[in-house]
Structure 1
Amino acid sequence: MNNEPTGLLLAHRAMLRDLDRLAELTKSLTATKTDRKRAVAIADYITDFCDSIHHHHSAEDDVLWPVLERAAGAHVDLTELTDDHAVLDPKLSRVREGAAALKSGHTVSPELAADLADLRDTLHEHIADEERTIVPLIKQYVSDDEWNRVEAAIRKRGAKMSFEVPRILAVSTGDELAEARREGGLPVALMIKLMPLPFRRRESLVFGGSR
């Protein structure tokens, strides 16, 4: 088996990009009164981002981990990664609370900036550990058919596609986009062309000229 978990790696890539730019954005805006429209846009983006992280890690716990444990058996120990996921819940709750305060008060608190910086550091380390230990096991022990079933089961869990897809496309290479077009045909080609357009307007409001 030589299955390449491209969707997982792209999700990680999009997550790390947002972690870096959200941490930098909130640091730069700390204690500064922000225009109401932009403050609401930033808060809503942070909330969607927290929901995305939760969806990703709960899908790993509920869908991917059991498949990997069955396939790899004694070759896999997911205890540390599962413990990391449990640590994320209170961190995400604090960030959501900070986003709610930003939405109502239009000011980025020092606590929100610090919590996002902490979340960034935590997930950079966690994702590096996960890709170093889990990705080789997926390639070795999980068949293409089984991996397709994993991805299908995760899609059924109801991620917010208007948020997920444009972020994935933004971190995809030209070769990855070409492969997606080949596999998905016209519907995927139209998605790649059209879905980022409204999202870019959203990003422009949230991040300004730096995206």
Structure 2
Amino acid sequence: MDNEPTGLLLAHRAMLRDLDRLAELTDRLTAARTGRKRATAIAGYLTDLCDSIHHHHSAEDEVLWPVLERSAGAHVDLTELTDDHAVLDPKLARIRAGAAALAATHVVPAELAADLADLRDTLREHIADEERTIVPLIKQYVSDDEWNRVETAIRRRGAKMSFEVPRILAVCTDDELAETRREGGIPVALMIRLLPLPFKRRESLVFGDSR
């Protein structure tokens, strides 16, 4: 077996990219009044990112972990990674609260940048652990058919594709993009064609020139 869990790796990469640039953005804007339209856009982006991260780690807990435990048996111990996921929820709640305050007042709360940097640092360490331990197990013990079922089950959990797809495209290498097109068929090809332009307009409003 030689599965390459490209989608998992790209999701990790997109999360960390967003957390880096949002921590920098909110630090720069802290305590400064922001226009209503931009404040609403930043708050909406933060909320979508929190939803995306929660969707990702809950899908690992509920879909991927059981497959790994069944396939790898005694070779896998997911306790520490599951505990890490439990730590994420209160951190996401703080960022959601900061986003709500920003949308209501049009002022970036002083603690929001620190909360984003804290979440980024937590996820950076967690992702490094996960990729070091879990990815080799997937490649060794999970069959191609089983991995396809995992990816299908995760897609059916209802991620917001207008948010996910353009962010994934932004961190793809040319080879990864070719693989994504090949495996995704016509539906993915259509999303790749149609979703980036409106998302670029959204990014422009959120990040301005610092993307």
Structure 2 partner of 1:23 = 23
SS at match of 2:178: helix
State how many pairs are aligned: 211
1:193 aligns with 2:193: yes
Deviation at residue 186 of structure 1 after TM alignment = 4.1
1:84 aligns with 2:84: yes
Partners of 2:160 and 2:209 in 1: CA distance: 25
SS at match of 1:32: coil
Partners of 2:162 and 2:11 in 1: CA distance: 14
Deviation at residue 194 of structure 1 after TM alignment = 1.8
Q: Which amino acid aligns with 1:109?
A: P
Structure 2 partner of 1:150 = 150
SS at match of 2:4: coil
Partners of 1:112 and 1:37 in 2: CA distance: 19
Structure 2 partner of 1:33 = 33
Q: Which amino acid aligns with 1:61?
A: D
What does residue range 97-136 of structure 1 map to in structure 2 within 5 Å?
97-136=97-136
Q: Which amino acid aligns with 1:80?
A: E
Partners of 1:198 and 1:167 in 2: CA distance: 12
Q: Which amino acid aligns with 1:136?
A: P
Taking structure 1 as the reference length, the TM-score comes to: 0.97
SS at match of 1:108: coil
Deviation at residue 184 of structure 1 after TM alignment = 3.5
Q: Which runs of 5+ in 2 are unaligned?
A: none
Deviation at residue 180 of structure 1 after TM alignment = 2.4
Distance 1:82 1:174, change over 3 A: same
Q: Which amino acid aligns with 2:190?
A: L
Taking structure 2 as the reference length, the TM-score comes to: 0.97
Task: Provide the alpha-carbon RMSD of the alignment.
Answer: 1.0
Partners of 1:64 and 1:185 in 2: CA distance: 23
